[in-house]
Chains A and B, each alone.
Chain A
Amino acid sequence: MSQRITIDVNHLTRVEGHGNIVVNVTDGVIERCEWQIPEAPRFFEAMVRGRHYSEVARITSRICGICSIGHTLASVIATEAALGIEATPQTRRLRTLLKHAENFDSHVLHVYVLVAPDLLGAPSVFPLVQTHPDVVARALRLKRLGHEWGSAIGGRSTHPTTAVPGGFTRVPRVRDLEALRDKILAAVPDLEATVDTIAALAPAIPAFERPTEYMAVSSHDEYGLFGGFVQTILADGDRASYEVADYRSCTNEYVSPLSTAKYTRNRLGSYAAGALARFNVNADMLHPEAKRVAERLGLAPVCVNPYMNPVAQVVEIVHSVHEGLRLIDELLAAGIGDELLAEPTSCGTGAAAVEVPRGILFHEYTFDAEGICTEADCIIPTGQNHGNIQLDFEALLPQLLAQDKSEDEMRLAFEMLVRAYDPCISCSTHHLDVTFVR
């Protein structure tokens, strides 16, 4: 074993936002093993104070370009809770369809562009244009579908325009929904090929286990996306539930000197959010096709290997496609039409929890009688995962040292671990680098 290991990954690549990995080991003694977040802080909660309720979601959407649909919906739903606005069944269906578009879109990008190159031994997706042209073309087709899906419902897939407090300013026409259904149906062969690709690459996924707490939105009606309650599960299957309005009681934010993002914890020293957490909490509510894919890919709850998060994302891609098709059929059967925006009936404080691609997202606002925002709080999934990534690092490093891995192998193991979480660091209004020494 070499006596000294130094890993210093400044601004880790193939993640959204900026993170550093710092690991120092000298004479076999671990001196530092840190996941650090140097992202420039952006202060959204301060910026929405004094804003009218109709403007708030369009500002907080800008927290994150890739989860902007989720941030818009979390903001809109929390605003409605604060102002006594009741959404119609059509609005709720359209929002769910829009949410599936985002999870599909983001997961496709993450699995194909950010994760697959590691499993194929390539530094990025671009060399794959030569070596695996069919995979790249499929990825780009699916990504385009996610974009068109989100745009058909939300006006745009990045910073949607039409989803506002009270409903939708423009709803898709019957022909738009029919066209969208045809596009999604046409993608089903690509979906099967995606599962085949991941099944072929699965042996390259590292075997590492660290039980933690998993947190997700749950609902009695569906695989949790928004509405319902917050549920956590431990590796032994022990569950706990929390009301969305009481989200502070299960997030417990604190400031770390390692990060410009705030950290969170609940029953253990940290918890995980994201596709794997959702799967662990809600697997029984998945669409049957998604359950079949999970079984084929060897994913079963409670899975405690964080490297399996992208596999859970593939399961969710399949789930979103089939749920999306079902929702479109329901909307068409119910006869989609224009509805007036529902108006405020009271004022006060309201919270929402929404499952964005990277995990559970909380927004809470207080509005005065004129509909002006006086307080805001946003807790972002990646912020919730940072503490868990740190504890994974601390468990992983001794294992890698015991396996006598080279510095390069260790660096890759740490980088792949972080990428598995699909961190969305720019999100963190409240956000790391790797340095390694053995």
Chain B
Amino acid sequence: MAQLRIAFFDFASCEGCQIEFTNYGDVATLQLLEHVEIVEFREAMTETTDGRIDVAFVEGSFTREADRARLQEIRARARTVVAYGACACTGGINALKNHQDDFAEYVYGDAARMPHLRSGTARPISAAIKVDYEVRGCPMSKDELLLVLSNLIHGTEHWVPTYPVCVECKRRETICRYDEGDHCMGQVARAGCGAPCPADGVPCEACRGFVEDANLNALERVLVDRGGLSQRRAVGKSRMFTANPRS
């Protein structure tokens, strides 16, 4: 079987999802490298390629118009584009500033008007180019990335769950955050992560985005009535990693 030529690209992000890619250990990584050839990965290598890219993994949000051309070039070079991590898939945490109008002045003061400090709305990369697969989450699940890659290598269809995180908590017998006197967004959050946060004693904040047709008015009400949050906090909470879908 021919090796898949894969490449990694990054935009506005913390690059934590790339770091997850380095965490497979020696056995799994060296086995993976028998099936894929990494042809471009700026953070880890100096080499670049002019040749074919089978799969481009793109991390980070699309925040500057100047990045559109870079994204289009990646699309033109790659047969398959995989957005990985919340920033690339939904805008992620970067989208929090989409609901503010004074963020640049707050951080840079009068210097905010310097041209290199301009930043627009944080958007998913799908706002600029067609995306074939998404690996959601903040950080993305490294096992899920491996599964996407495995499916691409074997030509099998990739499947992602459409149910909410609550299903995964029940499956692993995690006590509900609401029963612990806390709040949570697992009832409307996309599953697929295996629900690690509630099991670690912290609420789900929907880093993978919302399930389709999520009832967001009810989410706010539940956060207030059962979670004990103020209305303002409930609205803010519902936008943690999902500021774009809440606009």
- Residues of chain B in range 55-76 having any CB-CB distance to chain A below 8 Å: 60, 63-64, 67
* B14→A46 contact, CB < 8 A: no
- Bound-state Cα–Cα, A11 to B70, Å: 13
Known: A43-B104, A62-B14, A65-B18. A144 touches B97 (CB 8 A): no
The answer, among A58, A64, A260, for a CB contact under 8 Å with B14, is A64
- Bound-state Cα–Cα, A13 to B41, Å: 8
* A129→B30 contact, CB < 8 A: yes
- Bound-state Cα–Cα, A143 to B20, Å: 10
- Bound-state Cα–Cα, A293 to B92, Å: 43
- Enumerate chain A residues within 8 angstroms of B26, measured Cβ to Cβ: 136-138, 140-141, 144
Stretch at the interface among A23-31, A162-170, A266-274, A324-332: A162-170
* B106→A46 contact, CB < 8 A: yes
Whether a CB of chain A sits under 8 angstroms from the CB of B119 is: yes
The answer, among A13, A45, A68, for a CB contact under 8 Å with B46, is A13
Stretch at the interface among A150-158, A359-367, A391-399, A402-410: A150-158
* A46→B38 contact, CB < 8 A: no
Q: Closest approach, in angstroms, between the C-beta of B36 and any C-beta of chain A?
A: 11
* A140→B25 contact, CB < 8 A: yes
Q: Closest approach, in angstroms, between the C-beta of B14 and any C-beta of chain A?
A: 4
* B114→A257 contact, CB < 8 A: yes
Whether a CB of chain B sits under 8 angstroms from the CB of A99 is: no
Whether a CB of chain B sits under 8 angstroms from the CB of A390 is: no
* A158→B44 contact, CB < 8 A: no
* A161→B14 contact, CB < 8 A: no
- Enumerate chain A residues within 8 angstroms of B233, measured Cβ to Cβ: 52
- Enumerate chain A residues within 8 angstroms of B11, measured Cβ to Cβ: 40
* A255→B111 contact, CB < 8 A: yes
- Bound-state Cα–Cα, A68 to B20, Å: 12
Q: Closest approach, in angstroms, between the C-beta of B89 and any C-beta of chain A?
A: 14
Nearest residue in A to B37 (C-beta to C-beta)?
A126
Nearest residue in A to B110 (C-beta to C-beta)?
A255
- Bound-state Cα–Cα, A123 to B20, Å: 22
* A65→B119 contact, CB < 8 A: no
- Bound-state Cα–Cα, A47 to B98, Å: 9
Whether a CB of chain A sits under 8 angstroms from the CB of B153 is: no
* A41→B45 contact, CB < 8 A: no
* B43→A158 contact, CB < 8 A: no
- Residues of chain B in range 92-120 having any CB-CB distance to chain A below 8 Å: 92-94, 96-97, 100, 102-104, 106-109, 111, 114, 116-117, 119
- Enumerate chain B residues within 8 angstroms of A161, measured Cβ to Cβ: 196-197, 200-202
* A50→B17 contact, CB < 8 A: no
- Bound-state Cα–Cα, A156 to B236, Å: 24
Q: Mark A57-70, 1 if CB is under 8 A from B, else 0.
A: 01100111110100
Whether a CB of chain B sits under 8 angstroms from the CB of A430 is: yes
- Enumerate chain B residues within 8 angstroms of A51, measured Cβ to Cβ: 236
Q: Closest approach, in angstroms, between the C-beta of B69 and any C-beta of chain A?
A: 14
Q: Closest approach, in angstroms, between the C-beta of A382 and any C-beta of chain B?
A: 12
- Enumerate chain A residues within 8 angstroms of B114, measured Cβ to Cβ: 255, 257
* A46→B102 contact, CB < 8 A: yes
- For this complex, 13 residue pairs linking A to B, each with C-beta atoms less than 8 Å apart, are A15-B43, A40-B12, A41-B107, A41-B108, A42-B97, A43-B106, A45-B107, A46-B107, A51-B236, A109-B19, A144-B24, A159-B139, A161-B202
Which 9 pairs between the two chains have the least Cβ-Cβ distance?
A65-B16, A169-B201, A124-B45, A46-B103, A144-B25, A140-B26, A40-B12, A255-B111, A65-B14
